[in-house]
Amino acid sequence: MSDMSYDLLSSELEESADFIALSFNIADPLCFACCEVITDQYYLRAGDHVWHEHCLRCCVCQVTLGGHSSCFVKDGNIFCQRDFTNIHETKCCSCLRNIESGDWVRSAGENMYHLACFSCSMCQRQLSTGEDFATLDDRVLCRVHVLNPDDESVTCRPKSKRFRTAFNEDQVAVLQKYFDTDTNPTGSDLGMIAEEAGLPRRVAQVWFQNARAKLKRAMH
């Protein structure tokens, strides 16, 4: 048995990893799980209830949390860190992958998107910062398709014989961030950078080539 008790969580979504010796002002506390009197010297507190060390369990995997430094309480349910993360982690509404700390994101109402995933659901064009858009049935639509949400014949792409890439400011920020660190990234790094910026690998490669040439001219 541990010689200290844990004050695990007192608010809805906060995490506590502190070990706190509890005072014993409660006469004959009852374990919230088994409803038996707690006669042990130390017990656990999670939310508004107290528990035997062996009674506090994750509601998903049923692992006992007496040996854990923290847990999560949401809507009256107790979670271990792993299951809380799996269930309540913020996910991109387009690719459904987790949004990690440091990811470039876009929001539309309560929905979150990776930078590369924030595009019109009709024309698949990535939307830039400040560009008008709307949501319809959890679909993101550019300005043109807001007026024609179900007409696939409508296009907002200009017709041109020559393909030219128009970078938005967020894509440039991603590319410039990595260029400031390494002006000539490896092939694998270049693929990762292109994916983060939401660009084809070839486009990112050409951008780095042009940026190196511009830097070289500036130095002479």
Q: Is the pLDDT of residue 23 over 50?
A: no
Average pLDDT over residues 137-163: 67
Q: Per the structure block, which two tokens stand in for 84?
A: 């809380």
- pLDDT attached to residue 178: 92
Q: Which of the 8 DSSP states describes residue 29?
A: P
CA distance 90 to 181: 29
> Over pLDDT 70: what percentage of the chain?
77
Query: Minimal CA–CA distance to 199: which of 165, 163, 176, 152?
Result: 165
The pLDDT score that the predictor gives to residue 175 is 92
Greatest mean pLDDT among 34-48, 99-113, 183-197 lies in: 183-197
- Model confidence pTM above 0.75: no
What do you get for the CA distance between the two ends of the chain, in Å? 71
pLDDT exceeds 60 at position 14: no
- For the record, the structure tokens of 7 come out as 């004050």
pLDDT digits (tens, 9 = 90+) for 180-216: 999 888 888 989 999 998 888 888 888 898 888 888 8
